[in-house]
Amino acid sequence: MAVLPILTAPDRRLKQIAKPVAEVNDSLRQLMDDMAETMYAAVGIGLAAPQVGISQRVICIDLNHAHEGHEKNPIFIANPVIVHAEGEICWKEGCLSIPEYTAEVTRSSRVIVHGLDRNNQSLTLEGTELLAVCLQHEIDHLNGKLFIDHISMLKRSMLMKKLKKQKEGD
Ligand code: NI
């Protein structure tokens, strides 16, 4: 397993629509494992393949790993699709691709997602609260969307100016 570099905004690769996965084969499992390793190393709770520069519809989530002593138990989903969404929840979100920034985003409070698991089997996952938020956040990444696309245009343009400046300063 390898820790991959995480792209940070602004980066045009984060704005691309990722391609569907044909099947979850060994090379895709390798990508999934590398994504998990990368997510744990960065102390994140979710990661989407476009964040490591891979334009494929794959996400990885583990809500509990940040707690000390918790066993790693990542959820991998290829080609995730939200087939049902209801309710409303407001959550303070962050993203490994936008370091040191959080903002409140309103999303559905319960979602049902279909996709393929690490063994290429169909999977149905129901998420409420933080899991619902995380699933929507990661699936957004596959559609070239960041959580800051849900905040006001004014806030977003101020943040993007700052992020651009930080990158130029590197
Ligand atoms: Ni993110």
What do you get for the CA distance between the two ends of the chain, in Å? 28
What is the CA(140)–ligand 1 centre distance, in A?
8
How far away, in angstroms, is 37 Cα from ligand 1 center?
16
Separation of CA 51 and ligand 1 centre (Å): 8
Sign of CA dihedral 71, 47, 33, 113: positive
Q: How far is the CA of 95 from the centre of ligand 1 (A)?
A: 4
Q: What's the pLDDT band for 66 if we cut at 50, 70, 90? A: low
Residue 138 known to be catalytic: yes
Condensed to tens digits (0 to 9), the pLDDT of residues 28-42 reads 999 999 999 999 999
In three-state form (DSSP H/G/I as H, E/B as E, the rest C), the secondary structure along 26-63 is HHHHHHHHHHHHHHHHCCCCEEEHHHHCCCECEEEECC
As its CATH architecture, domain 12-169 has Alpha-Beta Complex (3.90)
pLDDT band at residue 67 under the 50/70/90 scheme: low
pTM of the model: 0.96
> Has residue 70 got a pLDDT over 90?
no
Which H/E stretch holds residue 124?
strand 122-128
pLDDT of residue 89 exceeding 80, the answer is: yes
**Using 50, 70 and 90 to split pLDDT, how confident is the model at 20?**
very high
In tens, the pLDDT along 109-127 reads: 999 999 999 999 999 999 9
86, 100, 126, 138: the active-site residue? 138
For the chain, what are the domain ranges? 12-169
